[in-house]
Amino acid sequence: MNIVAVLVNNNTRILVQGITGREGANHTRSMLQYGTKVVAGVTPGKKGAKIEGVPVFDSVQEAIDFDPKINTSVLFVPARQVEDAVYEAADSAIPLIVIITENVPVHSTIRVVDYAARKGLQIVGPNCPGVISPGLSKVGIMPGHLFSKGKVGMVSRSGTLTYEIASSLTRAGIGQSTAIGIGGDPVIGLSFMDAVQLLEDDPETEKIVIVGEIGGDAEERLAASRAKLQNRKPMVSFVAGRAAPPGRRMGHAGAIISMGSGTAEEKTKALREAGIPVADLPSEISDLLSSSESKDK
Amino acid sequence: MNIVAVLVNNNTRILVQGITGREGANHTRSMLQYGTKVVAGVTPGKKGAKIEGVPVFDSVQEAIDFDPKINTSVLFVPARQVEDAVYEAADSAIPLIVIITENVPVHSTIRVVDYAARKGLQIVGPNCPGVISPGLSKVGIMPGHLFSKGKVGMVSRSGTLTYEIASSLTRAGIGQSTAIGIGGDPVIGLSFMDAVQLLEDDPETEKIVIVGEIGGDAEERLAASRAKLQNRKPMVSFVAGRAAPPGRRMGHAGAIISMGSGTAEEKTKALREAGIPVADLPSEISDLLSSSESKDK
Amino acid sequence: MKIHEHTAKDLFEAEGIAVPKRYVANTTSEAEEAALKIAGAVVVKAQILVAGRGKAGAILKANGKEETSKAARQLLGAIFRGATVSSVLVEEQLSISKEFYLGFAIERASKKAIMIASEEGGVDLEETARSRPTAILRILLDPLLGLRTYQARLAGKALNIPTPALASFIGICQRMYKIFVENDCELLESNPLALTKSSQLVALDARMVIDDNASYKHPEHGEGTEELTPRESSAKQMGLSFVELDGDVGIIGNGAGLVMATLDLVAHHGAKAANFLDVGGGAQAEQVKAAVQLIVKLPNVKVILLNIMGGITRCDEVAMGVVQAFTETGSKLPIVSRLVGTREEEGQRILSEAGIEMTKSMELAAKKAVSLLK
Amino acid sequence: MKIHEHTAKDLFEAEGIAVPKRYVANTTSEAEEAALKIAGAVVVKAQILVAGRGKAGAILKANGKEETSKAARQLLGAIFRGATVSSVLVEEQLSISKEFYLGFAIERASKKAIMIASEEGGVDLEETARSRPTAILRILLDPLLGLRTYQARLAGKALNIPTPALASFIGICQRMYKIFVENDCELLESNPLALTKSSQLVALDARMVIDDNASYKHPEHGEGTEELTPRESSAKQMGLSFVELDGDVGIIGNGAGLVMATLDLVAHHGAKAANFLDVGGGAQAEQVKAAVQLIVKLPNVKVILLNIMGGITRCDEVAMGVVQAFTETGSKLPIVSRLVGTREEEGQRILSEAGIEMTKSMELAAKKAVSLLK
C-alpha cells in the first residue's frame, strides 16, 4: 500500500470507475486541473474512448495492466452498480477505493465494506466528497480552490459544509494538511474515528477540525475514545443539525435523529466533556483553532 | 496459536463437539486413555452431563469460558450439523478445528474452509482420522497403540491405510513424529502440500511418508513443488487405487478417477520424476525409508 | 420507507412464520365480516405508519360483531400522531403466556446488521434499553454468512425460550433475517413475538422499514410517499431532498450539512426554518426553479434564504433558476442570498440584475433573513 | 448423483434460462405427438446418464412424425455404454450461429467453486483442454459472494459474446451459478450454450451432477440409484460402500484406502477383484454379515479376502458377522482373512473356531487368496 500524507499524496495514481458519465467526466477534468494523476478510467463497453486525454477501459484489470501503479480508485458509477464496481476494484487489490456515489443501498455498503476489510483495503464513502491534500492531490469532488496547503486536518460527514469551513479557514490564513470527507451514510468505510486516527498519526497535521452532524453516535464514540488519550493534537468541532426535528432524514441517509438518539445536543455535550470545543457558528472555527494551542499537547 | 510439534502436542487442550454421540463418547474415552487433554465437550441441550468425566456444555463459548486454554476442537457432529459447528468454533477463534465427520456436503466444506482461512484458523478434514503425535497427543480416532514415538512424519488421505503403514513402521522399529490424516474428501482444509510443509518445518521430523490415493492432483502438485526444492527431507510414498476403475467412487468422496485424470499411474509417475520413491506394497515403505537417506539432504 | 403491519405480516406468513388469523378492513362492514370469520375475541389495529399505536389508543380489543364494528368505527378516519387511519387490521386474540422482542437492524458502529432480542417483549425497546440494558441481547451478523444457526440457538437459550419451542424460535430468527436482507430493510421487528399458551411462537406485531436507497428494488412496496406531505411527495419526485417544518424562513441550499447548518443559523438568530431543502450537487436551473417555486408556495414562508456553496453546483445555473421561478410565480417574497463557488461572478450578476440582494457569508445571510421577519 | 438432461433443463427454464421447446417421450407414440407439437426439425436424445451421447449415436436428428417415430424406436430400449434408454427427449432444432461452453465445478486445488467457459463449445471440453488449453477460461468464485457481475461480464467479453447478447450471457452465468449452489452440484454445465441466428443464447444441453453427500437435501432428485447395479443399490441402502468389478476375488475391508490397497495387492499378484467393499468404521456384526452375504452371492467370486485393520472397528464384531453370514448362507467359498486391531484375539478365536484361516499380514492374505484361485 502506498498511503502516505494521509490517504492521498503526489504518488496517488487514480483510476476513475464510471469515467464516461457526466459526473465522472466533469470531475476527471477537475481533478486533472488540480494536478491529480488520473491515469485511467473504466466504463464497460467504452474501451478505447478518452476522457480529457485519459484512456478508458472495459475492466479494472485492463486499466491495471495499462498502469500497474494505480493505487486508488474513485467511483462515480450509478448507485445500483456500486457493489459490483467495488468488488471489481477490490479483486484487483486497489488499496484505496473512494465511493462518491450517493443513494447506495445500505446492505450493499455493508457487504462491500466487509469484503474490502477482509482484503485489507480501505473504502472511503459512499456518499462522500472524497479526500484532498491541498497542493498534492485531490481524489473526489471538492472545489480545490477553496482549500490551501497547511497544517490543519479535517474530517467531515458533510461535503459542502466542509468546503464552507475550509474556505473560511483559507480566508483566515489557516491552511489544511488533508481534508477527508467520510460521507453522510449510516454505514461508511473509513469511520470518523479511523479518519481522526490517520490525522493524529500524520506528521503534516498539527490540529484537527471535525465536522459532525445529527444521526448515529460516531461523534460520541470519538469523544469517548479521545477523552482517554494522553497526547493528542488540538481538536475543534462543529455539529450540524441542532435545529433538525427528530425522525426526519435531513438529506443524508445518516442524518436522522431516531429513537431519541443522535441529537446535536448529545454530540455537543459529549465533545465538550472530552475537552473538544464545539463551534456555535462555522465561522468560529478559525478562532477556536487559534486558541486551541494551550489546551492540548 | 499454540501449535508446536506439528498441529498437536502436550499443550493441546481439546474440545469435543458432538461429545454425547456414540462416536464422540467412544473417542473421548480413547483420547483420554492416550493421555490427550480432553477438557470439555459440547452438545446443545446436554449441558451439565459428563462424558468420561469431561463436562458437557450447550455452546462452544460456555466451554471456552470454562477452560479459556482450549486450543483445538474435534468434531464428531452429524454431517448436516458440521457447517454450523465449524462457524461456532471459528467464531470463538479456536485455532485448530479437526473434522472427523464424513459425508459433509462439499459446498458446506468450501464455505467453512474459506471462513476459517479468513479468520486465520486451521481446519483439518473433513472425513479424516485426525492427527497424532505419538506419546504427546492424539486428536481424532487413530488407534494409538499402533503408533510409536520417532522421527518419521506421515501425511495421508486415508485412515486405515495410515494405521496399516504406521503399524508396519512400528514393527520395523521406525517411530513416528506426527501422523496427519488430511481426509478423503475432494475439498479439505489442510492440504497435502500444507501438511508436508508442516513436517518439513518440524525439527522433530527427519523423514516423511506420504500416502496418496486416486482422485484429484494433490500428489502431482506436491511432486511438482518438491521437484524445485534444494533442501528437503527424505520422502517416500504410497498411492492406493492402481486397480480402481475410472468414474467410480472408491469409498472416499475424493477417490475417483474422473475425466481421465487422477489415476494412480499419473501420480506414481509424477512422484518418481520428482525423486520420491513410490512403494509397490505397503510393507516396502520401511525399507524405502531406510535406504532413502542418501538421495536427499 | 415504513411498511404497514399487515403487509409485513403477509411477508412473515409467506416465509412460514406464524402470525394470527387476520383481515384488513377498509370499512366498518368489512370489519364486521372479519369479526364473524374469526368468531372470537379480536384486536382491531389502526394501519398507520407511526410507532406507539397502543399508547396512542389506536389498538382496541373487541369481541363479536357489535364491538368490532364499534372499534372499527372509532378508528377509521381518526388521526393518531398526524396519521389518518384509512384501514384497520382485525385480528384474532390469542392466549399468550409470554412476550418476547425480536428484531433486526443496521448497526453503524460495527458496520453490520445485528439481531436484537429480549425476554422482555411487548414493551418499548427503548425503555428496556434505558431501564435494564442487560435484558437486551445484541448479536452481530456476518455480512456474507448472515445469521448462523448456533447464534439463533444461543439467543433462544438466553431468552429462556422453552425447549419445545426452541427449534421454532431458531426458524423464526432465520426467516426474519431472510426477509430483512431480501427486502433491504433498515429495521424488521416483531414486538411482541408471543409464546401462546399452546407453546406456539406467533408474531403478534410486525414492523418493517425499508432502506429508501433500495426501494427501487422493491416496487411492490410502493414509493413510500404515505408518510410524506403532498409537497414532500412532489419534491421527492423532482429529486429534491425536502422536509416541511413549522417556521417561517424558507431555506434553499446545496448539500445536506450546509442546509442543516443554515437551519441552525436561523435558529441561532431566534427564528425557525419553514423547511429543509437540499437541491443536491450539480443542480441545473430547472431543478432550482422547481425548488424555489416549492418554497414560495409554502403557506408560512415570510422570507427566503438561499445558501449556495458551489462546487459541482454552478452559481449561474442556480441564479437563473431563482430568477425564472420568481418571474413565473410573480412572488414578492423577500429573498436573501449567498452564492459562492463555481461561476459565482455570473451568478451574482444575474441575481443583482434581478434586484436580489447578495450577502458575503451564510451567517450574514441568515442574520439578514431573520431581521426581515420583523 | 447424475441428473437427467430433461430434469436439468426444467430447472434451467424455471430459473429463466432459455432452453429449446421439448417433450419427454417414454414411447414411440409419445415421441410422434411431440414431433407434431413442435412441428419442425427435431433432435431425439436418449435420456441416459452417460457422457458422450452424441458420439455413441444416442442423439438422432429427425423431421416430422415419421422420422421422429423411427428415431425414437431406434433409441428406446437400446443400450449405450451400459445404460438402457427408457425415455427420449424430443426437442426442436434451432438455427445456431455459434456454440459456447459454460460450466460450474468444484476445484480441489483452490478449494473453491469455479466457472469454466470457452468460446469453443459443442465439443468435448477435455479435448479442448488438451489441444488448446488457452481456449478455456477458469474463473475462481468467492465461496460466500459467489459469481460477481463483473466476472460474468469479463467472461462474456473473453468469449466474444456479441454485445446485444452480453446482458443475457451475464444473466445465464448468474442463474446457472444459483442452480449450481442451491442444488449442491458437483458439476453443472451447458455444452453447447448456443447463440441462435436470432442472437438468442439457448442452453442446448444441460448436464448436472449432485454431490451425493448433499442428496438428502434434494429428495426431489430421487436416490441416485439409476447408475448403480441392483446389488450396488441395495448395498447403498445398507450403508455399505460397494462397487461391482469384473474379477473373481471378493473383497471385504474397512476404510477406503485400505480396501483400495487390497484391490491393488490382488492385482499385484496377477488376479482381479470382484468388487470394492468398505464396511466403514465401527461396523457391527449385522453390517459385516450383510456385506459377506452380498459378496458370497456375486456370481464371479471364487474366493473371499477379508482385510480388517480394526481401530474403531472391533474384530470380534467383524468375526461374528462373518461366521453368521457363512452359517446362514451355507456358502462353501474359501475365505482368507486378516484381522488385526481392537479385540483381535477374540476375533481371531471366533474365526479359528469356525475353521477360517488367518494370515499375518494383508500382503500374505492377498497372495494366499490369489493362490486359491488356481
Residue C75: per-residue pLDDT: 95
Q: What is the mean pLDDT of residues A149-156?
A: 96
Answer with the one of B79, B97, B124 that is the final residue of a domain. Answer: B124
pLDDT the model gives residue B102: 93
Inter-chain residue contact B240 with D312, CB threshold 8 Å: no
Query: In chain A, how many domains are there?
Result: 2
Average pLDDT over residues C268-276: 96
Chain D nearest CA to C339, separation (Å) = 42
Contact B184 D273 (CB under 8 A): no
Using CB atoms within 10 A of its CB, is residue D219 exposed (0-12), middle (13-18) or buried (19+)?
Answer: exposed
HSE, side-chain direction, 13 A CA sphere, residue B40: 23
pLDDT in tens, C208-252: 999 999 999 999 988 777 888 888 988 888 888 999 999 999 999
* Whether pLDDT at C317 is above 80: yes
Q: Which residue of D has its CA nearest to B243?
A: D264
Q: Is C226 left (phi over 0), alpha (psi -120 to 50) or beta?
A: alpha
In the complex, which subunits touch A with 3 or more CB pairs below 8 angstroms? C, D
pLDDT above 50: residue A275: yes
Q: Using a CB-CB distance cutoff of 8 angstroms, which residues of chain A are in contact with residue C182? A: none
Candidate from C243, C264, C340 with C-beta closest to A240: C264
Say how far residue B108 (Cα) sits from the centre of its chain: 19
Decide if D362 and B141 are in contact by the 8 Å CB cutoff.
no
Torsion of CA B205, B208, B211, B217, to 10 degrees: 110
For each of the domains in chain C, give its residue range(s) and CATH number, in order of start. Answer: 1-20+95-226 (3.30.470.20), 21-93 (3.30.1490.20), 230-371 (3.40.50.261)
Cα–Cα distance measured from residue B219 to residue C106, given in angstroms and rounded to the nearest whole number: 47
Cβ atoms of B97 and B83 within 8 Å: the answer is no
Backbone angles phi, psi at A144, to 5 degrees: -60, -30
Asked whether the predicted pLDDT for residue A4 surpasses 80, the reply is no
State residue C127's pLDDT score: 84
Residue D242 has pLDDT above 80, yes or no: yes
Site of grid cell 502506498: A2
For residue A145, the Cα-to-chain-centroid distance in whole angstroms is 17
Last residue of a domain, which of B97, B124, B151? B124
Q: What is the CATH number of the domain that holds B250?
A: 3.40.50.261
Provide the pLDDT for residue B293: 64
B111 contacts on C by Cβ (under 8 Å): 145
**Mean pLDDT on D272-294:** 91
Q: Is residue B297 in a domain?
A: no
- Interface test with chain C among A31, A107, A182, by most C beta carbons within 10 Å: A107
User: A102-122 burial by CB neighbour count: b if 16+ within 10 A, else e?
Assistant: bbbbbbbbbbbbbbbeeeebb
pLDDT tens per residue, chain B (297 residues)?
334 467 888 889 999 999 999 999 999 999 999 999 999 999 999 999 999 999 999 999 999 999 999 999 999 999 999 999 999 999 999 999 999 999 999 999 999 999 999 999 999 999 999 999 999 999 999 999 999 999 999 999 999 999 999 999 999 999 999 999 999 999 999 999 999 999 999 999 999 999 999 999 999 999 999 988 888 999 999 999 999 998 889 988 888 888 778 999 999 999 999 999 999 999 999 999 988 764 444
pLDDT of C26 higher than 70: yes
Domain boundary residue, one of B57, B91, B124 = B124
Query: Do the Cβ atoms of C148 and B44 come within 8 Å?
Result: no
Is position B111 within any domain?
yes
The chains found to touch C (3+ Cβ pairs under 8 angstroms) are A, B, D
Interchain CB contacts (distance < 8 Å): A and C: 169
Nearest chain B CA: its distance from D202 CA (Å): 25
Q: Please give the backbone phi and psi of residue D237, each rounded to the nearest 5 degrees, phi first.
A: -65, -25
The rounded mean pLDDT for chain C is: 93
Nearest to D273 among B111, B213, B243 (CB): B243
Chain C interface, best mutation among D144, D145, D148, D178, by max C CB count within 10 A: D144
- A217 close to C (CB below 8 A): yes
Report yes or no on B132 lying in a domain. no
Q: Which of A64, A65, A87 to mutate to test the interface with D (most CBs of D within 10 A)?
A: A87
Chains that touch B (3 or more CB pairs under 8 A): C, D
Question: ipTM score of the complex?
Answer: 0.90
> Cell 425557525 belongs to which residue?
C272
Same domain flag for B119 and B148: no
**Rounded to whole angstroms, how far apart are CA atoms B134 and B124?**
18
Q: What is the CATH number of the domain that holds B29?
A: 3.40.50.720
Q: Using beta carbons and an 8 Å cutoff, which residues of C are at the interface with B? A: 145, 148-150, 153-154, 157, 163
CB distance D150–A115 less than 8 Å? no
D221 near D245, Cβ under 8 Å? no
Most confident of B268-272, C125-129, C329-333: B268-272
B155 three-class SS: strand
Q: Among partner residues B113, B157, B251, which is closest to D276 by beta-carbon distance?
A: B251
Q: Which pLDDT belongs to residue A293?
A: 63
Kindly state the cell numbers that stand for C229.
406531505
Which residues make Cβ contacts (< 8 Å) with residue C39, sequence separation at least 6?
A: none
Question: What is the edge-to-edge ordering of all strands in the sheet holding D22-25?
Answer: D22-25, D88-92, D41-46, D59-63
CB contact under 8 A, A107 and C281: no
Task: Write down the pLDDT at residue D229.
Answer: 87
Q: Do B286 and B149 sit in the same domain of this protein? A: yes
Q: For chain A, what percent of residues have pLDDT higher than 70?
A: 97
Counting every residue written for chain B, the total comes to 297
Query: Over 50: is that where the pLDDT of D308 sits?
Result: yes
| Residue A246 counted as domain residue | yes
Backbone angles phi, psi at D249, to 5 degrees: -100, 115
Pick from A142, A127, A14: nearest CA to A70 = A14
Q: Is the peptide bond before A126 cis (omega within 30 degrees of 0)?
A: yes
D68-113 pLDDT tens trace:
999 999 999 999 988 899 999 999 999 999 999 999 999 999 999 9
Q: Which of A161, A162, A219 to mutate to test the interface with C (most CBs of C within 10 A)?
A: A161
Q: Do B115 and C154 touch (CB under 8 A)?
A: no
**Which position among D101, D177, D317, D344 bears the catalytic label?**
D101
Q: Which of D92, D99, D189, D232 is catalytic?
A: D189
Whether A120 and A152 map to the same domain: the answer is no
* pLDDT at residue A10 is higher than 90: no
Burial class (CB in 10 A: 0-12, 13-18, 19+), D293: middle
Q: Which of B212, B73, B206 is nearest to B149 (CA)?
A: B206
Query: Quick one: A7 and A114 in the same domain?
Result: yes
Assess if residue B192 is contained within a domain: yes
CB contact under 8 A, C145 and D145: no
Q: Are residues B194 and B264 in the same domain?
A: yes
**E-only strand ranges, C41-125:** 41-46, 59-63, 79-80, 83-84, 88-92, 96-107, 112-118
Q: Please judge whether A84 and D150 are an interchain contact, meaning their C-beta atoms are less than 8 angstroms apart.
A: yes
Q: In this structure, what DSSP letter does residue A243 have?
A: T
Note whether A119 and A179 are same-domain residues: no
What would the grid cell of residue A46 be? 467504452
Residue B297 CA to chain centroid, in angstroms?
26
Q: Is residue B135 part of a domain?
A: no
What was the pLDDT predicted at B18?
A: 97
For chain C, state the CA radius of gyration: 26
Contacts of C57 (CB under 8 A, 6+ apart): C80
Interface test mutation site (partner B, options C140, C144, C147, C150, max chain B beta carbons within 10 A): C150
Confidence band, pLDDT 50/70/90 cuts, at residue A79: very high
Query: How do strand D2-3 and strand D207-210 relate by DSSP bridges?
Result: antiparallel
Instruction: Please state, in angstroms and rounded to a whole number, the distance separating the CA atoms of residues C168 and C152.
Output: 10
CB of B156 within 8 Å of a chain D CB? The answer is yes
Eight-state DSSP code of residue B245:
P
Nearest to A143 among C184, C272, C342 (CB): C342
Phi then psi for residue B215, to 5 deg, are 100, 135
Judgement on whether residues B118 and B152 belong to the same structural domain of the protein = no
Catalytic residue (choose from A27, A107, A145, A252): A252
A131 CA: distance to closest CA in chain D (Å):
27
Average pLDDT over residues C48-77: 92
Compute the average pLDDT of residues A67-84: 97
Q: Which residues contact C358 (CB under 8 A, 6 or more apart)?
A: C337, C338, C339, C348, C351, C352
Neighbours of C146 (CB within 10 A): 16
What is the mean pLDDT of the segment spanning D343-357?
A: 90
Residue whose C-alpha cell is 461374528: D320
On whether both B80 and B195 belong to a single domain, the answer is no
Nearest to D150 among A87, A111, A115 (CB): A87
A119 and A163 together in one domain: no
- Is the domain of B106 the same as that of B154? no
- Contact status of A280 with chain C (Cβ, < 8 Å): yes
Contacts of D177 (CB under 8 A, 6+ apart): D104, D113, D115, D141, D146, D147
Query: Which positions in chain A touch C255 (Cβ < 8 Å)?
Result: 158-161, 251
pLDDT at C87 over 80: yes
Q: Find the range with the poorest average confidence among A211-215, A245-249, B50-54, D138-142.
A: A245-249
Instruction: State how far the Cα of B194 lies from the Cα of B131, in Å rounded to an integer.
Output: 14
Task: Report yes or no: B59 at the C interface, CB cutoff 8 Å.
Answer: yes
pTM: 0.92
Cell 499411474 locates to B265
**What residues have CB less than 8 Å from A269, skipping those under 6 apart?**
none
**CA A117, CA C255: separation in Å to the nearest integer?**
29
Are B154 and B285 in a shared domain? yes
Give the domain range for residue A243: 143-291
pLDDT, residue B247, reads 87
Average pLDDT of the residues in D238-250: 92
Q: Is B130 part of any domain? A: no
In angstroms, the Cα distances linking C261 to A246, A251, C251, C338 are 16, 12, 11, 14
B82-91 vs C149-158: helix crossing angle, rounded to 10: 70
Question: What pLDDT sits at residue A3?
Answer: 42
pLDDT, position A297: 44
Q: In angstroms, rounded to a whole number, what is the distance separating the alpha carbons of residues C340 and C315?
A: 7
Nearest CA in chain B to C163: B45
Shortest CA gap A130–chain D (Å) = 24
Q: Which residue of B has its CA nearest to D114?
A: B110
| Domain identity same for A28 and A106 | yes
Round to whole Å and give the CA distance between C331 and B117: 67
Is A252 catalytic? The answer is: yes
Task: Give the three-class secondary structure for D31.
Answer: helix
What pLDDT, on the 0 to 100 scale, is given for residue A5?
60
Task: Check if B87 contacts C (Cβ < 8 Å).
Answer: yes
Decide if D255 and B161 are in contact by the 8 Å CB cutoff.
yes
